[in-house]
Chains A and B, each alone.
Chain A
């Protein structure tokens, strides 16, 4: 058991998790409330002989990490709402060109400049559909610093395993709160290394031809294999094409490689769900308040449980359906206007059981807030 205990902000926990995962290259642009991720890495990356660069904007930051990933590096950028909006086009490029990379979005109140120093979980759907066109997306979140660290490492693993961008959706409260973090020893959390091609020089290497297991071995820029990378629909050589069968095949591949492996990238925590007739579903900072409510109600003998989601996208519909099958009331606790509530309603039978328990004023949703709304939902008056 490691004795490496720190007392850190969530943003620092993210930076430390990235270093643990083997981060080589960070490019970013300052923005509240994510800046501490950049500030931490501005110290730790050069100290480890690795690369840190502050770019001219978030667009450039996202582009730079994609370029660096192609040379064989593990890469990260971090931002918040407005910057995340600017990154959307290049995020789609990373989807299309299948570039492993991790993007941390420490959410703040939106739209627009919004509420920069206050908490929100309003970017749930932007993470899913912010970039244009059909696609799959992976987004992870966490409610405490141990999980921030863990999910950051898993984000890098998923990025490498599936050659995809992975979004870390944290929130301002998690990013700025300080709490204990036990940094695991190397090896405690398995790391996924870049899968590189074994094709020798002079033999045809097809950068976009998947192996039988669906994975696409990469070749670093600078190595012997020279190939084309593009955001256009492309064939197995990486060359642009608009042939209908190739276009459809690539789109289905991009979606299926994530959706068909959803069970492998679904992280969650269950609290008192076995006999729960009232099930709360939450994630991020709001899951802390939800857990507090569940524990209080349990101590009074009420059959209340909590499903905490660490994987937001792909949305774990099957898990949600399974965990709520005996529930007469499902409360989705989130700090937005009901973005994940819609997904829960789609996932369960009898969606009328599903209610939103939220707060959208930039303030942290408390256990008292949740209890008051629950009383109304349970018909026990205000």
Chain B
């Protein structure tokens, strides 16, 4: 396939740092869309603010680059008004779960057919490396010079508890798996969350002495295991990746249309 077919070359070069993992997410996302055979005019990318959110500008879909944390609220308006559109919402960890946390849990609760990507690099990259709600304890950041005392959310548990009907985690090291997860998430009829562990060598890596981008990618290889792996039982520090939740429950736009049918049948 030709990835460039899906890119707006006019808008390149992109603004991500050398070694950033976000480009791998972009590539995986394009391959997932291509694999599903979705037409470009049937795709809408809605994003918020941050490094990750710029992904929406680079793709040749309908793209809506909105406000910090509010992408899912804008996306809800797009999806409910035109349910035939495929709506994908790439977000950063701060974007999705700090300022956007309320919209995140309510979109999950409604089970509206939107695919939410949480591109988790554990920092606010665009503003220069502050700690996020996914940084976790003991992390150094420009706003945590004495190590973070904030506990982290577990994106998978949060999304599951809030009612998302597809919940998965991948990494930018495991590219083939990431493509597969994104494909399933977009095809899923309901609110789908994919957390993608991605590296920010510029800020998170440098502040926390994580080495180069390659070192950080290798850390994803060594630090994660497939869901249900025996290794996880022996070493709770390992992070599971794969599909955690996949179930069918009434989808919001379909429920809305069923309500309209009930009204007109009266």
| A interface, CB within 8 angstroms of B | 24-25, 27, 46-47, 49, 51, 53, 55-57, 59-61, 63-73, 75, 89-90, 93, 220-224, 226-232, 237, 239-240
Contacts and interface: CB of A to CB of B under 8 A. Distances in A.
Interface stretch (B26-34, B39-47, B168-176, B200-208): B39-47
Contacts of A229: 63-65
Contacts of A237: 10
Nearest to B261: A49
Interface of B: 8, 10-11, 40-42, 44, 46, 56-57, 60-67, 70, 73-82, 84-85, 102-103, 106, 256, 259-260, 263-264
23 contacts: A24-B81, A27-B76, A56-B73, A56-B103, A56-B106, A57-B102, A60-B70, A63-B67, A63-B76, A64-B77, A66-B74, A67-B77, A70-B62, A73-B81, A93-B67, A222-B42, A223-B41, A228-B56, A228-B63, A230-B65, A231-B65, A240-B57, A240-B65
A221 B10 contact: no
Nearest to A228: B63
Contacts of B73: 55-56, 59-61, 63-64, 67
A230 B10 CA distance: 16
Contacts of A232: 65
A71 B103 contact: no
B14 to A, nearest CB: 12
A69 B66 CA distance: 14
A230 B57 CA distance: 9
Q: Which has the most chain B C-beta neighbours within 10 Å: A49, A60, A90?
A: A60
Contact of A67 (B41, B61, B81, B260): B81
Contact of A63 (B61, B77, B80): B77
Contacts of A93: 66-67
A68 B263 CA distance: 22
A337 to B, nearest CB: 31
Contacts of B67: 63, 89-90, 93, 231
B70 A90 contact: yes
A222 B63 contact: no
Contact of A239 (B42, B57, B60, B85): B57
B264 to A, nearest CB: 7
A93 B46 CA distance: 14
A66 B260 contact: no
Given A224-B41, A228-B65, A230-B65, A47 B263 contact: yes
B75 A67 contact: yes
| SS of B interface (majority) | helix
Contacts of A56: 73, 102-103, 106
A222 B84 contact: yes
B250 to A, nearest CB: 15
A24 B84 CA distance: 17
Contacts of A230: 57, 65
B240 to A, nearest CB: 29
Contacts of B66: 63, 66, 93, 231
A71 B42 CA distance: 12
Contact of B78 (A53, A67, A226): A67
Contacts of A239: 10-11, 57
A221 B256 CA distance: 20
Contacts of A71: 78, 81-82, 85
Contact of B81 (A25, A57, A231): A25
The 9 lowest CB-CB distance pairs between A and B, nearest first, are A67-B77, A64-B77, A63-B73, A60-B73, A68-B81, A68-B77, A230-B65, A56-B106, A67-B74
A65 B82 CA distance: 12
Given A223-B41, A226-B41, A67 B56 contact: no
A226 B103 contact: no
Q: Which has the most chain B C-beta neighbours within 10 Å: A70, A72, A227?
A: A70
Contacts of A70: 62, 64, 78
Contacts of A223: 41
Given A55-B73, A59-B73, A221-B85, A226 B63 contact: yes
Given A47-B263, A67-B75, A221 B44 contact: yes
A204 to B, nearest CB: 10
Nearest to A73: B81
B260 A59 contact: no
A89 B70 CA distance: 10
A104 to B, nearest CB: 17
A66 B84 contact: no
Contacts of A57: 102
Given A25-B81, A60-B102, A93-B67, 11 more contacts: A55-B73, A55-B76, A60-B73, A67-B81, A68-B77, A69-B77, A73-B81, A226-B41, A229-B63, A230-B65, A240-B57
A75 B103 CA distance: 20
B259 A46 contact: yes
Contacts of B46: 67
B204 to A, nearest CB: 24
Nearest to A55: B73
A158 B259 CA distance: 32
A226 B81 contact: no
Given A46-B260, A63-B67, A221 B78 contact: yes
A230 B68 CA distance: 12
Contacts of B61: 226
B64 A222 contact: no
A50 B80 CA distance: 10
B260 A25 contact: no
A49 B66 CA distance: 28
B76 A64 contact: yes
A236 B36 CA distance: 32
Contacts of A90: 67, 70
